[in-house]
Amino acid sequence: MKIGVGLVLSNPSALRAPAQFRIRSRGAIYYNPSNTAMMRTFSRIIFPFFFTISALTAQTKAPATPQEIKTFYESGLRRNGIIGSSLVLIRNGEVVLHDNYGRQSETVPVDDNTTYHWASVTKTFTGIAIMQLRDRGLLSLDDPLTKYIPELATVHDTYGPVSAITIREAMSHASGFRDATWPWRDQDWQPFEPTQWSQIVAMLPYSDIKFQPGTRYSYSNLAVVFLGEIIERLSGDQFEVYMEKNIFRPLGMGRSYYDRSPYNLLRYRSHSWDLKDGKITEDPFDFNTGITRANGGLNAPLPDMLKYIRFLLGESAHQTEYDAILKRSSLEEMWKPVLPVVPDEDFPSRAGAHDSVAESFFIHTDGDLTLIGHPGWQNGFRSQINIDPATRTAYIVDYNTDAQDEKQNTRSFNIELRDYLIDHFFKLRAAKAE
C-alpha cells in the first residue's frame, strides 16, 4: 500500500528535492516511504524542517518577562486612548508585576492609593456573602427567592410559578429575570440607578420572566439585587455593613467601600471617562449605584484587591483565617460550571476556548487552562479579575476609560490582554507546575 504525504511550500526548490521525489502543483512533495533510500533522503531534508517549524511555534508562546508584559500592556493602553489603569500580576501568590499607568484625574497620577470602581466584580463578593449565610444554616441555594422576598410573587411568569426560581439560579444568571435593574432611565438628570428598594417593588408587577428558569444563561443585574436584599433580611445588617464586617475587615481591606467615598478617601478616587467617536467625555464622579450596590457598587484600591485575590487563590499559612471567612470547599463549589455562555461581544472566545457561568463567577477555558474570574464595566470603568487556583497565578486590572470606538476599544483590549497572558504567562506556569 502506498502512503502519500504532502508538504506545501512557498518555495519548493529551496529543499533541493531529489529527482525521485515528484513535485506537483503548489509545491506539494509526494514520496513513497517503501523506498528505503528515498526515506533516508526524506529524513535528512524534511525532519529538520519540521523541527525548525516546531521551534518557531514554541518561540511564539515563549514566556514573557514582567517587563515585556508591562510593555505590551502600556502599548495597548496608549493605542486605545485609555487615560489611567493599573495591572497586578501574581505568580504562586506573589506579585511579579504591579504597574500603575496614566492619571486618575486631570492633575493626579495613578498610584497605589488610587481607588477604582470595580462594577460587576462586586458580584463575586455578593456570592461569597450568600455562601457564608448558607454555611451558617440560614438558607439553602435551592430555596426559592420568594421564601425571603415575598414581593416577587407579583412578577409575571408564563413558564410556571415565580416561587420555583431559586437562589442558585439567581447566582448563575439562569433565573429568567431581565438584565437591567432599571430599564426606564432615559434622561441624564434621572438617578443613575434606583435609590430605594421600594422603587424596585413598585415595578415588579410590570416585570416578567424572559425564559424558562434554569434552562440557559442570560446575565441579570436585577437578580443580584435580590441576593443583596436577602443578605440584608437574613443578617439584620445593611448590605454595606454586612460586607464590611464579614469580608472587608477580616481580609484587611481597610480602604474598600460601596458607592460614595468616605470624606477622607475622596481624594484617592479615580475619575472616569468615555471615549466615543474620537471624543473624551468625563463621567459622573463619586457616583452612587443606589439599590444596585450588590451587583456593582464596590470601590477599592489595587492593594486591597490583591488581598482578595490571595484569599481566592488560597495559602496554607493563612488558610485558617481564610476558612473563617468562607471554607475552601464552599469557595470551590462556586467555581463549578453551571451553564455554557454563548460567545458575544462581552464574552468573546478565540478558537479552542469557551466560557461557562458558575455561581457568581465565570469560567474561561482555553485548551487545558481554566481561569476563574469576573469582568466589570460601569460609568467609564472596566475591570477584570482572573485566577488559576491550580498554580496560584492571577491578574487584576482596572481601566478608568471606556473607549468604545472600533479602533480604540477598552473591551477589545481587555480580551487581547487576557489572551496574551494566557499564552505567555498562565499556560507556561501551568506547564511548569506539571
* Helix and strand totals (H; E) in the chain: 14, 16
Whole-angstrom distance, CA of residue 296 vs CA of residue 375: 11
Cα(394)–Cα(230) distance, rounded to whole angstroms?
A: 31
pLDDT tens-digit map of 23-58 = 333 333 333 444 545 445 444 544 444 444 444 444
Ranking 50-59, 67-76, 315-324 by mean pLDDT, the lowest is: 50-59
Q: Each residue of 175-219: pLDDT tens digit?
A: 999 999 988 888 888 877 888 999 999 999 999 999 999 999 999
CA atoms within 13 A on the CB side of 254: 3
Is the pLDDT at 342 greater than 50? The verdict is: yes
pLDDT for the residue 188? 80
- Flag whether pLDDT at 8 surpasses 50: no
What confidence category does residue 429 fall into, taking pLDDT thresholds of 50, 70 and 90? low
**232-291: per-residue pLDDT in tens?**
999 999 999 999 999 999 999 999 999 999 999 999 999 999 999 999 999 999 999 999
Return the percentage of the chain with pLDDT > 90, whole number: 80
User: Would you tell me how many other CB atoms lie within 10 Å of the CB of residue 56?
Assistant: 9
Q: What is the DSSP string of 82-133?
A: --EEEEEEEETTEEEEEEEEEBSSSS-B--TTPEEE-GGGHHHHHHHHHHHH
Instruction: Answer yes or no: is pLDDT of 59 > 80.
Output: no
Q: List the single range of 57-66, 256-265, 406-415, 418-427 with lowest mean pLDDT.
A: 57-66
pLDDT tens profile 89-122: 999 999 999 999 999 999 999 999 999 999 999 9
Give, in order, the Cα–Cα distances in Å from 16 to each of 127, 179, 272: 64, 63, 61
Q: Which residue has the cell 470602581?
A: 117
This prediction's pTM: 0.85
Q: What's the burial of 1, exposed, middle or buried (CB within 10 Å: 0-12/13-18/19+)? A: exposed
Q: How many CB atoms lie within 10 A of CB 429?
A: 17
Instruction: Catalogue all structural domains in the chain, each as residue range(s) with its CATH number.
Output: 1-48 (no CATH), 67-433 (3.40.710.10)
In the block, residue with C-alpha cell 412578577: 155
Average pLDDT, the chain: 88
Helix (H, G, I), strand (E, B) or coil at 336: coil
Instruction: List pLDDT tens digits, range 350-380.
Output: 999 999 999 999 999 999 999 999 999 999 9
Helix (H, G, I), strand (E, B) or coil at 4: coil
Length in residues, the chain: 434
Query: What are 330's three cell numbers?
Result: 464552599
Per-residue model confidence (pLDDT) at position 187: 86
**Cα angle at 67 between 308 and 385, to 5 degrees?**
25
9 residue type, one letter: L
The answer on pLDDT for 431 being more than 60 is: no
pLDDT at 191: 78
Per the listing, cell 472600533 goes with 406
**Residue 184 has what pLDDT?**
84
Q: Name residue, grid cell 486590572.
A: 397
The alpha carbon of residue 107 and the mean position of all alpha carbons in its chain are separated, in whole angstroms, by 30
User: Which cell numbers hold the place of 208?
Assistant: 416578567
Q: Are 259 and 288 in contact (CB under 8 A)?
A: yes
Mean pLDDT score, 216-225 = 97
